[in-house]
Amino acid sequence: MKQFVAVYGAEPEGVWAAPGRVNLIGEHTDYNDGFVLPFALPQRTVVGASRVDTPEWTVWSEQTGERITFDLSEHVAGWAAYVAGVVWVLREAGFDVPGARMALTSDVPLGAGLSSSAALESSVLTALADLGGLDLPVDERPALAQRAENDYAGMPCGIMDQSASIRCRAGHALFLDCRTLEVEHIPFDVAAAGLAVLVIDTKAPHRHVTGEYAARRTTCEEAAHALGIPALRDATLAMVADLADPVQQRRARHVVTEDQRVLDTVALLRDGRVREIGPLMTASHASMRDDFEITVPEVDTAVEAALSAGAYGARMTGGGFGGCVLALVDADATNKVTSAVTDAFAACGYTPPEPFVAIPGPGATRL
């Protein structure tokens, strides 16, 4: 890996990679013990790493141009917290993590809702697990990477992002039950169906993301508590209608209907009826806009423009308040939909969006 050689003057012992992801459907359901259906992007974070003899870690990132060294005595802040968090969580879990030096680079856009943070954690975790010969089954890794982000970096994300980055398979979407952590790999060959998934990075500045995300989580927990159930996964629409608080009612209705939309999407994909998932995507967007209230004008504009240009379905993907929109389109209509969204953004005076066609790629791996 040329970056590792440039920084450390030698080849790394190994090179590992973990992808970013988009969520096909199932938004804000993961922390409600519900269902999600992400797939891995071809964009990924690549890390070259070698062991060192001391309990010390050095990490350099091409994206920040910074090189940070830490040991176990300090709490690391900033972007390197995602790396130090992985070291911390592995030690908390009782593993003897080797000291290491690492160089990383990524083509996952940072902070666009495509989970560059999970790609970073997952690539580092995979590298350290291999370097140290740690006996750590793949299905136990996402929860550790999530804890690194929650408890060390201080971001209250659910289990979806790390599960997708670590467990996805090329050509498949990952049907994940966030309560049992059981997965099923659902074939998702859009090209064979004459279709394409367009990801549109709206470039909308994230507004109040962390605070609003935490507020949604709290409201969902309060709604579950008011209903006397462990999580909104266990609610029905009839139960939701009985909630006294109108905000809790809207939030819970999103979660309950969104879980059902994931199940319906999986059923259609199992049947090879790819095009028919479009209306479920669009309904998911309406639910996020009206009931969960996590969209912003840029993402609503992108969804409307994509649908007007002939997309079968379109929705915001990711935690909300900016980020990316997914559109399911005919394979030969990507340019038409792209121009429609670009024109709509220009008319509104928004920063030009960055669309790309997403093909489901593999999960974390040694290269």
- In angstroms, rounded to a whole number, what is the distance separating the alpha carbons of residues 65 and 359? 29
Question: According to CB under 6 A, which one of 38, 48, 98, 113 is a site residue for ligand ADP?
Answer: 113
Pick from ligand ADP, Mg ion, none: which does 64 bind, CB < 5 to 8 A by kind? ligand ADP
Cα gap 2→201, rounded to integer Å = 29
Query: Is 161 an active-site residue?
Result: yes
Q: Where are the alpha helices (DSSP H) in the chain?
A: 2-8, 81-92, 116-131, 141-147, 160-167, 209-227, 237-241, 246-270, 278-290, 297-308, 334-348
Within residues 48-77, the interface with ligand ADP by CB under 6 A covers 61, 63-64
Burial class (CB within 10 angstroms; exposed 0-12, middle 13-18, buried 19+) of 135: exposed
The DSSP 8-state label assigned to residue 339 in this structure reads H
Residue nearest to Mg ion (CB): 117
* Options 113-121, 125-133, 229-237, 246-254: segment touching ligand ADP (CB under 6 A): 113-121
Strand partners of residue 201 = 324, 354
10 closest CA partner among 21, 18, 19, 1: 1
Instruction: Out of 82, 292, 312, 350, name the contact with ligand ADP by CB under 6 A.
Output: 82
The least CB distance from residue 114 to ligand ADP, in Å, is 6
Question: Which of 33, 130, 151, 161 is the catalytic position?
Answer: 161
Query: For residue 352, which amino acid is it?
Result: P
Q: Check residue 117 for interaction with Mg ion (CB under 5 A).
A: yes
Quick one: which of 84, 90, 120, 288 contacts ligand ADP (CB under 6 A)? 120
Q: How many residues bind ligand ADP (CB under 6 A)?
A: 17
Using a 10 angstrom Cβ sphere, with 0-12 exposed, 13-18 middle and 19 or more buried, the burial of residue 32 is buried
User: Which residues ranging from 136 to 195 are in contact with ligand ADP (CB under 6 A)?
Assistant: none
Report the interface residues with ligand ADP, using CB under 6 A. Answer: 45, 61, 63-64, 79, 82, 104, 106, 110-117, 120
- What is the binding site for Mg ion (CB under 5 A)? 115, 117
Catalytic residue numbers, as ranges: 161
